[in-house]
Amino acid sequence: MKRLLTILLAVSVLLSGCTTGSMGVEQKQYTATFLNLFDTVTTVVGRADSEAEFKEKAQKVHDELLIYHQLFDIYHDYDGINNLKTVNDQAGVAPVKVDERIIRLLVDAKAFYESTGGRVNVALGSVLELWHEARSDGRDDPVNAVLPEQEALDKASTHTDIEALVIDETASTVYLSDPEMSLDVGAIAKGWAVQQVAESSPTGLLISVGGNVCATGPKDTSGTPWVIGIQDPDGGNDYLHTIYVSGGSVVTSGDYQRTYVVDGKAYHHIIDPDTLYPSEYWRAVTIVCEDSGVADALSTALFLLPMEEGQKLLDCCGAKALWVDLDGNIHYSPGFNDLIRT
Amino acid sequence: MNKNLQLTFRKGDLLAILLVVAMTVMTAVFFLPKNTSSQNAVVQIYQDGELVKEISLGEDQTIRLTGTYRNTIEIRDGKVAVTETDCPGADCAHSGWISSVGRSIVCLPNRVEIRIVGDAEVDFVVR
């Protein structure tokens, strides 16, 4: 009889671990999508007692992200805001007084440059701009799609010195001392912004900006982790894996993102600063890491590095990764297996 | 201590074994991956953030959306895809057919999202 009792106790614990909601109330899970931020898809997922309650939370996340979207935009001007376009427009002319959030982003960007051995370089704007134009034109008119001219790429690459990015934290100004240089924070800004917003958001939300996913805590009060699917680079409905995430960030860099086709070959958007061409190390790299900004930078860096060097970066940040090589084989960093659900 | 106790098989033991077996089966059933492309799944189509259409994934049909650009959305055999578009890049059409709950197809230029909702196994997909 004693044994029976023990077993019954185990059952009740197991069952109580499965119930949802704080006071026995079953909360519904909602999803909100926004298509106006960072030229990508923003998704907020969370549980709430009512749709109205969730919408309010999601709208707050959107409104905060919108500020970062405008500050870090290099293509558009906004009334009364000095953003990164302003900084680029004033290259070689004058320092620009900017919001402290731009200062903090760029200070972190310089640190990422150092820690990734220059793989993540926000001063690569003049090179990336050539690819951006070629891609944009090629997508509008696929028949006449062309690659950027090598001569133009070579010339642009002489104006990518991170030292020419001059940050004055006291005066809150940014100055590009090379008039031909321009900033492009695409490799870090989304993750960085998600991290900032996540830190001021309520617990139990899943926030994604263009695949930079951050969980502000488990999905309910009993600590149920989120289940995140990692897409197969070959597309389709299959996942490489599904993983458990209770907090922190997940992001993937893949050769299928933001592509265009020239002469039957697809070119993606992650440019190797050495070759000035899209990198060809990996099909995809997924990073799991506490900080979303670090995760974003790491996913770019690891996408541009052989596995051993990538692993060194992971070790510095306490991050984990999954690589998909060009033959479709999957490689795991130590510890990644602990996250895998299926 | 008591040798007899180790040897006798009691009713309680049988009950305990049965309970363990029952629990194992129940747990297995509970955690077994559910069929996510179930016929109960619903396709939601949003444009400019508004839900413009909601159709069962089991109902074959063609929907034509206008806006800045055009999207032809087809639901066939429990799958949905954008089969035609004039948007730049045509990422939506290149997304192919989707059938799992939680998946979505997005057309950024036309501000359209096509989402499959239902009982999801996965909360979010990183791509």
Closest-CA distance of chain B to residue A302, Å:
16
**Degrees (nearest 5) of the Cα angle A96, A99, A104?**
100
Q: What is the pTM of this model?
A: 0.85
Whether residue B20 is contained in a domain is answered as no
Which of A20, A35, A241, A262 to probe by mutation at the B interface, max B CB count within 10 Å? A35
Q: How many domains does chain A have?
A: 2
The tens digit of pLDDT for each residue in B13-33 reads 888 888 888 888 777 766 654
Digit-coded pLDDT (tens) for A165-194: 999 999 999 999 999 999 999 999 999 999
Burial string for B8-42 (b: 16+ CB within 10 Å, else e) reads eeeeeeeebeebeeeeeeeeeeeeeeeebbeeebe
- Assign residue A98 the CATH number of its domain: 1.10.3980.10
Q: Do B125 and A252 touch (CB under 8 A)?
A: no
User: What token pair was written down for A308?
Assistant: 């051993």
3-state secondary structure of A112: helix
| A115 and A234 part of one domain | no
In a domain? residue A18: no
Confidence grade of residue A15 (pLDDT, cut at 50, 70, 90): very low
Specify if B58 maps to a domain. Answer: yes
| Domain-terminating residue out of A176, A210, A242 | A176
Contacts of B37 in chain A (CB under 8 A): 237
Kindly state whether residues A196 and A150 are assigned to the same domain.
Answer: no
- Rounded Cα distance between A294 and A302, Å, is 12
Contact residues, chain B, for A286 at CB < 8 Å? 126
Domain that holds residue B112: 42-117
Cα A45-A47-A48 angle, rounded to 5 deg: 125
Distance (Å) from the alpha carbon of A162 to chain B's nearest alpha carbon: 30
List chain B residues with CB under 8 Å of A242.
Answer: 121-122
Query: Phi, psi at residue A173, to the nearest 5°?
Result: -125, 155
- How close does chain A come to B88, measured CA to CA in Å? 5
Closest residue, chain B, to A231 (C-alpha): B127
- Which of B27, B100, B113 is opposite residue A35, by nearest beta carbon? B113
Whether A240 and A230 have beta carbons less than 8 Å apart is answered as yes
CB-nearest to B108 from A35, A140, A251 is: A35
Q: Which of B59, B63, B109 is nearest to B82 (CA)?
A: B63
Contacts of A289 in chain B (CB under 8 A): none
Q: Does B27 touch chain A (CB under 8 A)?
A: yes
Domain count across chain B = 1
Which CATH number goes with the domain that contains B101?
2.60.320.10
- Alpha carbon A191 to its chain's center: 4
Per-residue tokens: A44: 């907020």
The parent domain of residue A249 ranges over: 26-73+187-339
The answer to whether residue A220 is domain-embedded is yes
H-state helical runs in chain A? 2-16, 51-71, 84-89, 100-115, 125-140, 150-156, 189-199, 292-303, 307-317
Spatial separation of the C-alpha atoms in residues A233 and A246, rounded to whole Å: 25
Nearest to A4 among B12, B111, B117 (CB): B12
- The pLDDT of residue A18 is 34
What kind and span of H or E run contains A169?
A: none
Helices (H), B10-112: 11-31, 91-94
ipTM value: 0.83
* A268 and A129 assigned to the same domain: no
Q: Do B49 and A257 touch (CB under 8 A)?
A: no
Other CB atoms within a 10 A radius of the CB of residue B63 amount to 17
* End-of-domain residue from the set A126, A142, A176: A176
Check whether residue A282 and residue A142 sit in a common domain: no
**Residues facing A208 on adjacent strands:** A43, A213
Each residue's pLDDT tens digit, A217-254: 999 999 999 999 999 998 777 899 999 999 999 999 99
